[in-house]
Amino acid sequence: MTNLDLIRNVSIFQGLGEPQLSLIATACKQRSYGTGAYLFRQHDPRSEFFVIQSGEIEILEHVGNDAVPIARLSSGNFVGEGTMLDGLPHTASCRANVDTQAFVWERADIDAFFENEPDASRKLLAQVASAIAQRLRSSNFGYRGGGTAVYGAGQQRLEHDLLGERPVPADAYFGVQTLRAVENFRITGTTLSHYPNFIKSFAMVKKATARANRALGLLDKDIAHAISLACDEIIAGSLHKQFVVDMIQGGAGTSTNMNANEVIANRALELMGHEKGQYDFIHPNNHVNLSQSTNDAYPTAIRLAILLSYEDLTRAMDDLCYELKQKAVEFSDVIKMGRTQLQDAVPMTLGQEFDGFYATVKEDIARIRDLVGLFREINMGATAIGTGINTHPDYAQLVTAELSHISGVELILASNLMEATSDMGAFVTFSGVLKRVAVKISKICNDLRLLSSGPRAGFNEINLPPMQPGSSIMPGKVNPVIPEVVNQVAFQVIGNDLTVTIASEAGQLQLNVMEPVIAFNVLQSMRMLTQAMIVLADRCIKDISANRDRCRDLVDQSIGIITALNPHIGYENSSRVAKAALERGCGVAELILEEGLLTRDQLDDILKPENMIRPRYVANPAPKRASGA
């Protein structure tokens, strides 16, 4: 491709005549950039405009000491258009992601063009302003980590839908309906690509439908094969950055479904030797979406994504349980006071306390594994509302079997597709158990913060591993930051459950249009709980230590040990001794001996740790009366 051919196809130069395009092409210089080489750096003066001939560049936003990729641009795209407006410093950096060739238009040549071609310059500046506005809109809504086409403003292709024609970046695998969704739903900045298993699940659904339609004679074998290959690439992790629609969206998930349909169609077109956008050969709706509606494909993909993701959560819970059990064993001989209502209760061991933490987490692993089975029931073949319109009579059973084979998950077709299309009961139930887990984990973290409080003016029974300095004003302060962050995760999950509940109730008639927010909140809860448990286990529980002497001192000083003496000296004596100990500021054991209620040997036996922390048969003796009483 010549300089002129490349320049002619760059969107920013649209509207210029051939003489002006030739002037620009002649002025451009060809340069090579090795992998990692910078085209420009943040704070450098703007002095050059770049058109990418081959290779790939990435735009980097600097956050502290980190360079965060916000876009990747390939052949036909451009960067540095601000050079045509002013010489102010670059606000980002640009470097070659692979070996890259670029045409470079230098400032001196730009100035000469503007001076000699004023009419063309005005047109060019309007295009520059439009391109900058487009980039700013995209970058402001969280499309980070390598998004190409939303940010790009280079070569374009023209696509059309019900609302008319729109230019789509030429290197984008998504199409016009995805583009409209990106513009319409700038809500959370959390795109589909944040949940890889959701994207993989969608690809599995589309592959299953292609195979089922092919088996029923509804889809050409070459088209079905190309769609299946494109799906395989997505399942393997490719093209995920092309899933750019926000997780929360109107339309009951139609934008997500069309994002998948368009990406798969355009990749399948390439595999068959066609250009992206040549939908006469493979069409997102007519072929990729054949025999489907968003209303069966989308909820099925959500359910499958949960089935593919839940083991990450249960594995994290298992790992947390392991660390809690290790501490239960390590602290099994550490005697301490138990407390109820934040008041001294009866003695226990620190090991028993951690064993309780272990048991409360462990029991919910089985609950999650049991309840996740609700998502095995799917409604493929329901199409719009559950009647199965536009499907072959054998399609629903066949596509369910295909999807089971592809995913490795045993799925079953719902017995009533009408009910399965509108009912969100499985999400309500599963979100409820996620909330249950969150509540329990948060309570454990509350306890860890109390037990480690101090170090000198609190409980100070355990030491949490110090993770970071705790204050900008109080020297030496270290805060329980890991339990604190896990508490906050729990609060988010609890709130997510309320959202799922309200959204599940909010559906009308044959469809619940609130499924996107249900999907987002359930998947977010699973991910946040998973990460929180990993962090809690690895960065807190594993390195907790016990203050053994402190725990024992609190037992010895506590009035609570009087409960262990109650069967031996009677309730009345126990109450009176406890009150006297509080008033005189002395120990319970001291008063027992002073009043002759028990001998030293009897007292030592009763107060042995092993005799206070588990059931023990005691024959009720006649309570002694205190001497002189």
Question: Which tens digits make up the pLDDT trace of 147-159?
Answer: 444 455 556 789 9
pLDDT at residue 145 greater than cutoff 50: no
pLDDT at site 626: 57
pLDDT at site 504: 95
Q: What is the mean pLDDT of the chain?
A: 90
pLDDT at site 621: 57
pLDDT at site 167: 86
pLDDT at residue 142 greater than cutoff 80: no
In the numeric block, which tokens belong to residue 590? 């001291």
H or E stretch at 165: strand 164-169
Give the least confident one: 59-68, 137-146, 180-189, 227-236. Answer: 137-146
Choice between 214 and 6, residue whose per-residue pLDDT is larger: 214
Which residues of the chain does CATH 1.10.40.30 include? 558-612
Mean predicted confidence (pLDDT) in 413-432: 96
pLDDT at site 126: 86
Give the least confident one: 296-310, 406-420, 466-480. Answer: 466-480
Architecture of the 3-139 domain: Sandwich (2.60)
pLDDT digits (tens, 9 = 90+) for 65-88: 777 777 778 888 889 988 888 778
End-to-end CA distance of the chain: 111
Is 471 catalytic? The answer is: yes
Choice between 285 and 61, residue whose per-residue pLDDT is larger: 285
Q: Confirm whether pTM is higher than 0.85.
A: no
pLDDT at site 316: 97
Amino acid at 495: G
pLDDT at residue 2 greater than cutoff 80: no
pLDDT at site 623: 58
Percentage of the chain beyond pLDDT 70 is 94
Split at pLDDT 50, 70, 90, the class of 609 is: low
pLDDT at site 136: 61
Rounded to 10°, the helix 107-116/118-139 angle is: 130
Rounded Cα gap, residues 532 and 444, in angstroms: 13
Mean predicted confidence (pLDDT) in 471-482: 89
pLDDT at site 144: 41
Architecture of the 309-376+410-547 domain: Up-down Bundle (1.20)
pLDDT at site 374: 96
pLDDT at site 274: 96
pLDDT at site 206: 98
pLDDT at residue 143 greater than cutoff 80: no
pLDDT at residue 627 greater than cutoff 70: no
- Find the catalytic residue in 255, 293, 309, 471: 471
In the numeric block, which tokens belong to residue 269? 């077109």
Q: Which residues pair with 337 in a beta bridge?
A: 347
- Third-level CATH fold of 165-290: Fumarase C; Chain B, domain 1 (1.10.275)
Split at pLDDT 50, 70, 90, the class of 323 is: very high
φ, ψ of residue 495 to 5 degrees: the values are -65, -40
- Third-level CATH fold of 558-612: Ribonucleotide Reductase Protein R1; domain 1 (1.10.40)
Split at pLDDT 50, 70, 90, the class of 168 is: confident
Split at pLDDT 50, 70, 90, the class of 620 is: low
Is the four-CA dihedral 486, 487, 493, 499 of positive or negative sign? negative
Is the four-CA dihedral 86, 87, 91, 97 of positive or negative sign? positive
Q: Which pairs count as long-range contacts for 176-182, CB under 8 Å and 24+ apart, including other chains? A: 177/255, 177/258, 177/259, 177/262, 177/284, 178/244, 178/245, 178/255, 178/258, 178/259, 178/262, 178/263, 180/255, 181/245, 181/246, 181/249, 181/255, 181/258, 181/259, 182/138, 182/150, 182/244, 182/245, 182/246
Mean predicted confidence (pLDDT) in 413-418: 95
**HSE-up of residue 284 (Cα within 13 Å, Cβ side):** 25
Which residues of the chain does CATH 1.10.275.10 include? 165-290
Rounded Cα gap, residues 624 and 595, in angstroms: 10
pLDDT at site 61: 81
pLDDT digits (tens, 9 = 90+) for 546-581: 999 999 999 888 887 888 888 888 888 888 988 888
**HSE-up of residue 76 (Cα within 13 Å, Cβ side):** 18
pLDDT at site 132: 76
Question: In 3D, which of 111, 93, 95 has the Cα closest to residue 35?
Answer: 95
In the numeric block, which tokens belong to residue 628? 């002189």
Which residues of the chain does CATH 2.60.120.10 include? 3-139
pLDDT at residue 141 greater than cutoff 50: no
